[in-house]
């Protein structure tokens, strides 16, 4: 394992500035000023100009470098990860897995409260040693030298990583892809997993007419919302799962293209009223985008969808339901996320749910949107499984 420090050459920042200044902007359909057809031109122009003239990458870089970072080769991939040990000797190890279009930046605001609750007005008994890896092919863990990095392979790599760090018993947490990887990790490394905690858990398809007839009104509404999201917001899913290389040229050549591709999801999937910044700090969004842009991993992160297509909701025939996991699980449901799980169907794959909380605010990136709620839910779950 090699200590790592982010040091982006000035030439890369100068190139970004030139590309942003020279953007060739598309027109818009008359009267289409909202988000229904995608990111509005006026909004993106203003955000791109802010990125070029006011966003400070060097300040962000210095902030990121305050966290202990490392790289390690696992199964042929160079994996980047944060490893932040708690000052509390009895802290519980925990690995946290992000998804797309996210990165370890999603968790910066919760590292302090989770690793050092004593310094943040909390109980030192709630402390964690944190391991936050970057998915292979994403950001500082990319690009990849070969295809085939599906979620089971990532889960196996995470089991290796925790073993190499000397953690015999640990918790796993994840959202988006990280939710599925957490479940797979609990299956393949169950003798070392204390429990799994997820914030994203789509309800599987319900094909039995008898089951559909027994749905409550609230459950019907939840499935209807999930269906509307699938029809109206899943373009990225189909493109990245089927033609990632075609998309790759735009994401790698145009910073505004990469920005639009990511920022749309921070609007669609968060507890935002009009713009993504209603839910997530603008600088945080741009720092997350920078990790994709500066590493040219918009392409390889799109290929992650292609390699995982047989496991995603678009697969046909649909993948079989996972074998029930005996590991205890906690589920945090946020109203503006895209999963909308129904507990009684979720329990078929996760029969040992020891904590299920539904909140009235927050979305797909709760550690960014409602960090105090995210931290509290994790602490509560950990207290249940480590007794």
Q: What is the model's pTM? A: 0.95
pLDDT bin (cut points 50, 70, 90) of residue 317 is low
The listed range with the strongest mean pLDDT (25-39, 71-85, 205-219) is 71-85
Chain position carrying tokens 């029809």: 231
pLDDT value of residue 30: 85
According to DSSP H, which parts of the chain are helical?
10-21, 41-53, 57-64, 108-115, 151-164, 177-188, 209-213, 217-232, 235-242, 244-253, 255-268, 282-293, 298-308, 343-346, 366-369, 371-385
pLDDT digits (tens, 9 = 90+) for 58-90: 999 999 999 999 999 999 999 999 999 999 999
What φ, ψ does residue 86 adopt, rounded to 5°? -75, 150
Q: Which residues contact 342 (CB under 8 A, 6 or more apart)?
A: 203, 219, 222, 223
Average pLDDT over residues 200-225: 80
pLDDT digits (tens, 9 = 90+) for 184-197: 999 999 999 999 99
Residues 127 and 90: beta-carbon distance below 8 Å: yes
Using CA atoms, how far apart are residues 242 and 140, in angstroms rounded to an integer?
Answer: 24
Using CA atoms, how far apart are residues 135 and 144, in angstroms rounded to an integer?
Answer: 11
């Amino acid at each position: 394992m090699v200590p790592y420090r982010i040091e982006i050459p000035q030439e890369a920042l100068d190139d970004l500035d030139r590309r942003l200044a020279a953007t060739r902007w598309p027109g818009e359909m008359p009267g289409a000023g909202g988000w229904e057809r995608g990111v509005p031109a006026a909004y993106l122009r203003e955000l791109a100009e802010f990125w070029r003239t006011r966003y400070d990458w060097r300040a962000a870089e210095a902030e990121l470098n305050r966290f202990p970072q490392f790289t390690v080769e696992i199964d042929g991939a160079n994996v980047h990860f944060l490893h932040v040990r708690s000052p509390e000797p009895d802290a519980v190890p925990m690995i946290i897995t992000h998804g797309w279009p996210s990165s370890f930046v999603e968790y910066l605001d919760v590292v302090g409260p989770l690793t050092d609750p004593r310094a943040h007005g909390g109980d030192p008994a709630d402390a964690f040693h944190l391991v936050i890896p970057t998915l292979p092919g994403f950001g500082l863990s990319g690009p990849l030298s070969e295809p085939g990095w599906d979620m089971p392979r990532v889960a196996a790599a995470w089991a290796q990583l925790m073993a190499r760090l000397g953690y015999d018993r640990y918790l796993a947490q994840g959202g988006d892809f990280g939710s599925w990887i957490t479940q797979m990790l609990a299956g393949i490394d169950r003798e070392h997993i204390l429990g799994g905690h997820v914030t994203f858990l789509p309800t599987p398809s319900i094909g039995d007419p008898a089951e559909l007839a027994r749905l409550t009104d609230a459950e019907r509404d939840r499935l209807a919302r999930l269906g509307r999201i699938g029809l109206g917001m899943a373009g990225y899913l189909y493109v990245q799962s089927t033609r990632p290389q075609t998309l790759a040229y735009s994401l790698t050549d145009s910073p505004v293209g990469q920005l639009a591709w990511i920022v749309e999801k921070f609007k669609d999937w968060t507890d935002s009223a009009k713009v993504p910044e209603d839910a997530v700090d603008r600088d945080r969004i741009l720092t997350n985008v920078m990790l994709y842009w500066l590493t040219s991993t918009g392409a390889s992160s799109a290929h992650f969808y292609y390699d995982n297509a047989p496991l995603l909701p678009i697969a046909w025939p649909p993948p079989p339901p996972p074998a029930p996991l005996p590991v205890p699980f906690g589920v945090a449901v946020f109203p503006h996320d895209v999963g909308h799980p129904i507990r009684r169907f979720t329990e078929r794959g996760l029969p040992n749910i020891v904590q299920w909380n539904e909140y009235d605010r927050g979305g797909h990136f709760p550690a960014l949107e409602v960090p105090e709620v995210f931290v509290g839910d994790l602490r509560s779950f950990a207290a249940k499984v480590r007794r």
